[in-house]
Amino acid sequence: MSFENLPEALAIALAEKGYTEPTSVQAAVLEPEALGRDLVVSAQTGSGKTIAFGIAIMRELLADGTTLPPAAAPLALVIAPTRELALQVSRELAWLCAKANARITTCVGGMDPSKERRALNHGAHIVVGTPGRLRDHLERGAMDLSAIQYIVLDEADEMLDMGFRDDLEEILDAAPDNRRTLMFSATMPRPIAALAQRYQHDALRISTVGDDRGHGDIDYQTVAVSPSDIENAVINLLRFHEAETAMLFCATRDNVRHLHATLVERGFAAVALSGEHSQNERNYALQALRDGRARVCVATDVAARGIDVASLSLVVHVEVPRDAETLQHRSGRTGRAGRKGTAVIVVPYPRRRRVEEMLRRARINATATEVPSAEMIRERDRQRMFEALLEPVEGTEEELELAQRLLDQRGALELAVALVRHHSKSMPEPEELIDLSKRGEDPRADKSHHREGFDDTVWFRMDIGRRQNADPRWILPLLCRRGHITRNEIGAIRIAANETFFQVPRSIEAKVREALQRTMTEGAEDESGIRIEPSPEGAQGGGHSGGHSGGQPSRQPARAPVKRTETRAPVQQRDERPAPAAEQPARQPYKKPYEPAAKPAERKQLGVAPGSEPRTDRKPPRAGRPGQKPPFKGGAKPFKPGGPKQTGANRKGPRPR
């Protein structure tokens, strides 16, 4: 099938853009059975869906002539989930319908609504917009849907995921019943089928998604990295591919902001797209990508829909997509309209199983590759430099004259070295990454690394734990004081429920034992009341590192749990019975809080303020055990002499003016 049977205005516009044969989704829309019917179309991202529903609309609107009548109430309405996609659809329809004198109005959030209302009042053939802004114009009476013949829901599944169901239902309910409703989406979940059943009549189901849902023009790759090396892997991927335009996808706005700042600092020409950017900032970023001022775009999933940059050849999933549909929509920014593209998924090693399952559900065959190393990148740079510099060059007279002057002052070898150095300086340096193959692939599986001096350690035990508020911030100074050692001589600290274990190198074991025994003998369990003793069994399970970690404990065979023996003296039970009357002490007379030093008149002469004498009935603060919270220091506020403040009617004397 070809575009020969289309109206002349559409055929000319397609020919000028280089369209010779329709894609599979465009051919399905042009079939005779699709004429005049509602459609539910499921097609891959980047397969030409915008041109498909543009042809479906204009073919019937131009059935009686070569141009459209003067614009009045809208004849067609296209609803898209995001501003970027709506603007992209508007641009595509503008050139497709230009020969037919179609007037297209765009209504999206972030733009001036008053200008949009004026454009609607002047008349429009096709209105393209987002659900929220279209509903606002509808409720304010600025948009008249009485003449609507076609409603297109582009990326309908995404609109439902973003919570636009109420907006869509209000718009669809306001449109005439005899309209045609076309639903286009890359996936067709159950909510879309329910929406189609409610608002469509005798709909034709079209699906161009085959058994292999992976896009044929996209090369999917996965690279496994250590979680701490994700940013370095992204830098090396950008340097290795040197794509004319690349897009990096993150999950949150904060991550977009952080990665964008990192890339700009490293020398990449990068822009950012996320929900926190205004419409003007988004337009500027997309225009910078299209005209080549920026080569890298860091974006959230909001930008995964509708962005169509011809030079975009590399997509990097910096953070793993939440599901297979998100993976497809992200990757679909490249490999569009017959162009080839590459989609790379950066896989943190702990999440590799989840990524494999997601690729299996999406029926995508991805190639597992290694992150390009620094040496691979430098070799690729040398190849690209040779290819660029050895191409035939025809210089102008001014350039030839300048080149001759350089040859007169420097030799050819010196000029070549300067050229190579200048070429190398213009590119960011690659990063050195953790080699997973030398660490058993899993960085966490490498337990042989120890801090210097902690390859051979012994364990000691303290008789306090989490329940006694054990904390490394005060345990560490205590160990240094009791063991006569420094902080650097203490390895890992493991805090359990009722006990704490810590490491010291075996070379200083005797020194620590002697110091602990001496401090116990001299101080009778130290001022803290904590016993510290060697632990032949090592650190028991169930503890956690308290934040000061040195070498890891050597692996020992599993032991039976050792029952902890109580080392403190048993607590004597308090006798709660009252003492006999004869043994009870005599009642002490009541003692006033303070005894005045003199009568009030004498006190005034001596200059002693009432209530300034020291209290004699206060008890000394109760000493607490180590780890206990200090006693509560609250209580009633002290009495302040002078009586209540005199205000209003209680004030003595005339009121000041």
CA 642 to chain centre: 62
Q: What integer pLDDT is reported at residue 83 of this predicted model? A: 85
CA 329 to chain centre: 18
What is the rounded distance in angstroms from the CA atom of residue 561 to the CA atom of residue 529?
Answer: 26
What does the pLDDT look like over 88-118, one tens digit per residue?
899 999 999 988 889 999 999 888 899 999 9
Average pLDDT, the chain: 78
Asked whether residue 655 carries a pLDDT value surpassing 60, the answer given is no
What does the pLDDT look like over 205-261, one tens digit per residue?
888 765 444 556 789 999 999 888 899 999 999 999 988 899 999 988 899 999 999
What does the pLDDT look like over 509-544, one tens digit per residue?
888 888 888 877 654 444 567 888 888 766 654 455
Q: What is the pTM of this model?
A: 0.55
Fold match flag (218-373 vs 457-545): no
Q: What integer pLDDT is reported at residue 192 of this predicted model? A: 78
CB 37 within 8 A of CB 203: yes
What is the rounded distance in angstroms from the CA atom of residue 514 to the CA atom of residue 519?
Answer: 9
Q: Domain 8-207: which topology?
A: Rossmann fold (3.40.50)
Q: How far is CA 105 from CA 115, 126, 156, 331, 481, in A?
A: 10, 6, 21, 29, 78
What does the pLDDT look like over 136-180, one tens digit per residue?
999 999 999 999 999 999 888 778 777 788 899 999 999 998 899
Q: What integer pLDDT is reported at residue 602 of this predicted model? A: 54
Q: Domain 218-373: which topology?
A: Rossmann fold (3.40.50)
**Where along the chain do its domains lie?**
8-207, 218-373, 457-545
Q: What integer pLDDT is reported at residue 78 of this predicted model? A: 95
CATH class in words for 457-545: alpha beta
Burial 91-129 (b: 16+ CB within 10 A, else e): ebbbebbebbebbbbbbbeebeeeebbebbeeebbbbbb
CB 376 within 8 A of CB 240: yes
Q: What integer pLDDT is reported at residue 347 of this predicted model? A: 92
Confidence bin at 559 (pLDDT 50/70/90)? very low
Q: Which structure tokens are listed for 385?
A: 């430099």
| Cβ within 8 Å of residue 353, ≥6 positions away | none
Q: pLDDT higher for 379 or 47?
A: 379
What is the rounded distance in angstroms from the CA atom of residue 87 to the CA atom of residue 108?
Answer: 8
What does the pLDDT look like over 379-394, one tens digit per residue?
888 888 888 878 787 8
Asked whether residue 570 carries a pLDDT value surpassing 50, the answer given is no
